[in-house]
């Protein structure tokens, strides 16, 4: 997503101009978070499930080489063609070449954050291939020519009236109509025609099983199945970290995925694709795109355990009040902020700072990724590597200088208290970024050091 | 070096030291009765429960409830008298106008009301997704408590395609308003048999 040179704070400013909408966005996501809590609390074994899921994923990361080979061999034995892509560009080329071989120039695609990450739609569009996103939320943002703002709820930032307008323009629904039932029915008709007429379908992959060579795709709408079962060619795109060792491990992950995402006990469809149907060809594209690098970063490799449930976004006070687009990357929110700097530290240097480090993300993560700790660690790496926002870097340097010089520290404290008391206007203004959304504190009469000295003397 | 070799080499270098797999989980005893839970959850997620004691009752129900519908198909020979014959070996696109498909599930799962259905029971993979309304027959005795029991039951079974289906197709993408019937069936009826 191109946002010019704007960073998270500047993009949030744009989102924050409409305060009523920010409140609405905040409340909607909190509603989803609350549903997640209810689902999690209804299972006494919830914490055991999280711990088990986390350990299974630890095992996957530690034995990924073996599992990849095993998965490849089993998938090929099942009649699936396996491709390997080192990066997004290679992924796009592979998909394009499969489509070209089959003489296909119009396709349907169900939700896949990986293809968003690789910018597949743009690539195929430039090569004269029409892509129809079939997840309702994704179709809506596609019609609006916007990227998804949330990985599970792609158009969570849009009001129904705006969707009604889009549908009026593109699908011919009645002007001013905004009833979700009416709009969904219109989308159903519109997309059914696409499912029936397109010869190739792309899906993502939620889980891939090394033991059996099968992969699982979860949807509520049924769009992955409608696409795949009606198409002559099915291409499934997956990051290499989606592996699970054994089929039975799916039980753990299918129990936690949707409960964490939307609070449902399971998605409507959890489809296990093992072999192409007679007459169909099935492809899997295994994509690295930075994942092997992240695997080598000890402090950050845990981020590869992510199952894309979005619980960390729904709970994040910053995400809820800044919107998904402010993260200017395919995967927004806390998890996106630890994945993106691995891909491009300079371009995404702002994201690890888009957090209060409150830790709520880590607490809801179903695979126990230490998200807030990684955000904190990324900040240190980014400053050290020289990618931090210069204002932040200077402030940090000044703080370092002050805190390591007792004389200067004492003087700075005195000066600060003096200024706040006698000349508050010099800090209570627009030049002080900290003041923007806050009041400056009442200055204390003396520092703790001075107080301690005085009281110690009195003893 | 091909990308495959490159990726595998990098994974080998960068993957951490061995971490063991955790112990397998099983159903925590003491939960709600499975059949009761299945019915409760299915209703909550927008499905309908119909308890029957034999296939005749199912046939009767279908005739009564779906009599206005044009295309009724089933993979179950027991329902041949109330459904279309000779539909089986057609292009899957031709099922687009099927009003009701009645198929069988291997078993159901109480905790989420999902039904495990493999390709052999669908006849064609598209059937349970493309039909306007779906009905599934499952034996009351075949409701297991959790997904752990479900995968124990599946074991190393061979299938080309299989799906857990829980309720009708749905979406809440427009302002979190739940709408049944996104792309797939608008309703799901489960016949609990036995």
CB contact under 8 A, B45 and A62: no
Query: Which of A215, A265, A275, A320 to probe by mutation at the B interface, max B CB count within 10 Å?
Result: A265
pLDDT, one tens digit per residue, over B145-194 is 999 999 999 999 999 999 999 999 999 999 999 999 999 999 999 999 99
Q: What is the mean pLDDT of residues A298-323?
A: 97
Q: Which of A203, A335, A263 is nearest to A33 (CA)?
A: A263
Q: For tokens 């054994």, what's the residue?
A: A246
Whether the per-residue pLDDT at A211 is higher than 50: the answer is yes
DSSP string, A130-193: EEEE-SHHHHHHHHTT---SSSSSTTTT--HHHHHHHHHHHT-PPTT---HHHHHHHHHHHHHH
Q: What is the mean pLDDT of residues A205-231?
A: 98
pLDDT, one tens digit per residue, over A413-443 is 888 888 878 887 777 776 776 676 677 778 8
**Interface contacts (A, B; CB < 8 Å):** 240
Measured between beta carbons, which residues in chain A are less than 8 angstroms from residue B6? 86
Neighbours of A73 (CB within 10 A): 13
Q: Strand pairing partners for B137?
A: B104, B191
Question: Can you list the domains of chain B with their CATH numbers?
Answer: 34-87+98-171+189-194 (3.40.50.10420)
d(CA A352, CA A335): 10
Pairwise pLDDT comparison (A410 vs A49), residue with the higher score: A49
CB contact under 8 A, A292 and B7: yes
Q: What is the mean pLDDT of residues A156-167?
A: 97
**In the numeric block, which tokens belong to residue A311?**
């619980």
Residue B191, pLDDT score: 98
Residue A220 contacts B where some CB pair is shorter than 8 Å: yes
Residue A3, pLDDT score: 53
**In the numeric block, which tokens belong to residue A122?**
């743009």
d(CA B63, CA B81): 10
Rounded to two decimals, the pTM is 0.93
Of A63, A195, A226, the CB nearest to B18: A63
d(CA A245, CA A257): 17
**Confidence grade of residue A2 (pLDDT, cut at 50, 70, 90):** very low
Task: Report whether A254 contacts B147 (CB < 8 A).
Answer: yes
CB contact under 8 A, A62 and B28: no
Any idea what the Cα angle at residue B62 is, between residues B59 and B67, rounded to 5°?
125
ipTM over 0.95 threshold: yes
Query: Which of B183, B187, B188, B190 to probe by mutation at the A interface, max A CB count within 10 Å?
Result: B183
Q: Which of B87, B77, B84 is nearest to B55 (CA)?
A: B77
A271 φ/ψ angles, rounded to the nearest 5 degrees: -95, 130
Query: Which of B32, B133, B175 to probe by mutation at the A interface, max A CB count within 10 Å?
Result: B175
Residue A273 contacts B where some CB pair is shorter than 8 Å: yes
d(CA A90, CA A86): 6
* Average pLDDT score, chain A: 94
Measured between beta carbons, which residues in chain B are less than 8 angstroms from residue A288? 3, 7, 10
* Average pLDDT score, chain B: 97
d(CA A53, CA A252): 6
Whether the per-residue pLDDT at A71 is higher than 90: the answer is yes
**Confidence grade of residue B104 (pLDDT, cut at 50, 70, 90):** very high
d(CA B108, CA B41): 11
CB contact under 8 A, B166 and A69: no
d(CA A329, CA A322): 14
d(CA A421, CA A416): 9
Q: Is A278 helix (H, G, I), strand (E, B) or coil?
A: coil
Distances (CA, A) of A97 to A174, A201, A350, B110, B187: 40, 14, 36, 44, 39
Q: Is B23 helix (H, G, I), strand (E, B) or coil?
A: coil
Whether the per-residue pLDDT at A139 is higher than 90: the answer is yes
Q: Residue A136's Cα: distance from chain center in Å?
A: 18
- Determine the straight-line distance between the first and last CA of chain B, rounded to whole angstroms: 61
Question: Can you list the domains of chain A with their CATH numbers?
Answer: 8-292 (3.40.50.10420), 405-458 (no CATH)
Residue A32 contacts B where some CB pair is shorter than 8 Å: yes
**Confidence grade of residue A73 (pLDDT, cut at 50, 70, 90):** very high
d(CA A372, CA B172): 29
Q: In what order do the strands lie in the sheet with A281-287?
A: A81-85, A281-287, A233-239, A200-203, A106-109, A130-133
Neighbours of A262 (CB within 10 A): 21
pLDDT, one tens digit per residue, over B8-49 is 999 999 999 999 999 999 999 888 899 999 999 999 999 999
Task: Report whether A247 contacts A295 (CB < 8 A).
Answer: no
Query: Do the bridges between strand B48-52 and strand A215-219 make them parallel or antiparallel, or are there none, so unpaired?
Result: unpaired
Measured between beta carbons, which residues in chain A are less than 8 angstroms from residue B164? 254, 266, 269-271
Whether the per-residue pLDDT at B106 is higher than 70: the answer is yes
Task: Report whether A234 contacts A297 (CB < 8 A).
Answer: no
Distances (CA, A) of A94 to A100, A118, A279: 10, 12, 21
Q: In what order do the strands lie in the sheet with B72-74?
A: B48-52, B187-193, B133-139, B100-104, B72-74
Residue A45 contacts B where some CB pair is shorter than 8 Å: yes
For chain A, give the percent of residues with pLDDT over 90. 83
Burial class (CB in 10 A: 0-12, 13-18, 19+), B24: middle
Please, which residues have CB within 8 angstroms of residue A228's CB and are 6 or more apart in sequence? Answer: A110, A201, A203, A217, A234, A271, A273, B125
Q: Residue A387's Cα: distance from chain center in Å?
A: 22
**In the numeric block, which tokens belong to residue B63?**
């005739």
């Amino acid at each position: 997503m191109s946002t010019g040179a704007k960073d998270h704070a500047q993009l949030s400013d744009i989102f924050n101009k409409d305060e009523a909408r920010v409140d609405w966005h905040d409340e909607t996501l909190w509603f989803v978070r609350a549903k997640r809590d209810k689902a999690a609390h209804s299972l006494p074994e919830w914490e055991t499930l999280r711990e088990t899921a986390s350990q299974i994923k630890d095992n996957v990361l530690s034995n990924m080489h073996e599992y990849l080979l095993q998965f490849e061999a089993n998938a090929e034995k099942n009649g699936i063609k396996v491709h390997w892509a080192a990066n997004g560009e290679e992924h796009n080329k592979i998909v394009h070449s499969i489509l070209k071989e089959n003489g296909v120039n119009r396709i349907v695609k169900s939700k896949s954050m990986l293809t968003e990450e690789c910018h597949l739609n743009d690539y195929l569009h430039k090569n004269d291939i029409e892509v129809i996103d079939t997840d309702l939320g994704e179709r809506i943002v596609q019609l609006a020519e916007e990227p998804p703002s949330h990985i599970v709820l792609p158009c969570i930032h849009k009001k129904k009236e705006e969707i009604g307008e889009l549908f009026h323009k593109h699908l011919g629904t009645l002007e001013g109509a905004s009833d979700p039932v009416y709009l969904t029915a219109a989308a159903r008709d519109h997309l059914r025609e696409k499912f029936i007429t397109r010869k190739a379908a792309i899906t993502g992959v939620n889980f891939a099983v090394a033991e059996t060579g099968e992969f699982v795709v979860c949807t509520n709408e049924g769009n992955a199945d409608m696409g795949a079962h009606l198409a002559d060619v099915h291409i499934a795109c997956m990051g290499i970290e989606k592996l699970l060792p054994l089929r039975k491990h799916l039980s753990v992950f299918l129990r936690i995925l949707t409960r964490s995402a939307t609070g449902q006990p399971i998605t409507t469809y959890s489809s296990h694709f093992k072999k192409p149907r007679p007459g169909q060809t099935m492809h899997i594209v295994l994509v690295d795109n930075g994942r092997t690098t992240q695997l080598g970063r000890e402090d950050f490799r845990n981020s590869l355990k992510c199952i894309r449930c979005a619980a960390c976004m729904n709970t994040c006070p910053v995400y809820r009040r800044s919107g998904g687009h402010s993260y200017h990357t395919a995967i927004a929110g806390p998890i996106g902020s630890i994945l993106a700097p691995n891909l491009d530290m300079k371009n995404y240097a702002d994201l690890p700072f888009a957090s209060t480090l409150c830790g709520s993300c880590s607490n809801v993560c179903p695979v126990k990724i230490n998200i807030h700790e990684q955000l904190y660690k990324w900040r240190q790496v980014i400053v050290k590597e020289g990618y931090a926002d210069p204002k932040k870097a200077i402030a940090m340097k000044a703080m370092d200088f002050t805190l390591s010089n007792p004389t200067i520290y004492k003087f700075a404290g005195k000066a600060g208290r003096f200024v706040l008391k006698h000349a508050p206007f010099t800090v209570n203004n627009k030049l002080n970024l900290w003041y923007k959304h806050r009041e400056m504190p009442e200055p204390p009469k003396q520092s703790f050091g001075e107080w301690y000295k005085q009281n110690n003397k009195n003893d | 070096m091909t990308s495959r070799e490159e990726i595998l080499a990098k994974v080998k270098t960068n993957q951490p030291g061995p971490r063991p797999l955790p112990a397998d989980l099983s159903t925590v005893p003491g939960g709600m009765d499975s059949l009761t839970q299945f019915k409760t959850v299915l209703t909550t997620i927008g499905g309908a429960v119909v308890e029957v004691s034999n296939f005749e009752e199912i046939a009767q129900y279908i005739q009564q409830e779906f009599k206005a519908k044009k295309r009724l198909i089933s993979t179950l020979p027991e329902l041949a008298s109330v459904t279309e014959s000779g539909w089986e070996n057609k292009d899957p696109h031709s099922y687009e106008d099927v009003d009701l498909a009645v198929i069988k599930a291997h078993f159901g799962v109480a905790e989420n009301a999902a039904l495990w259905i493999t390709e052999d029971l669908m006849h064609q993979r598209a059937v349970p997704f493309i039909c306007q309304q779906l009905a599934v027959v499952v034996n009351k005795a075949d409701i297991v408590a959790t997904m752990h029991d479900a995968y124990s039951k599946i074991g190393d079974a061979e299938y080309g395609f299989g799906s857990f289906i829980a309720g009708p197709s749905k979406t809440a993408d427009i302002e979190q308003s739940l709408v049944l019937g996104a792309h797939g069936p608008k309703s799901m009826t489960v016949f609990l048999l036995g």
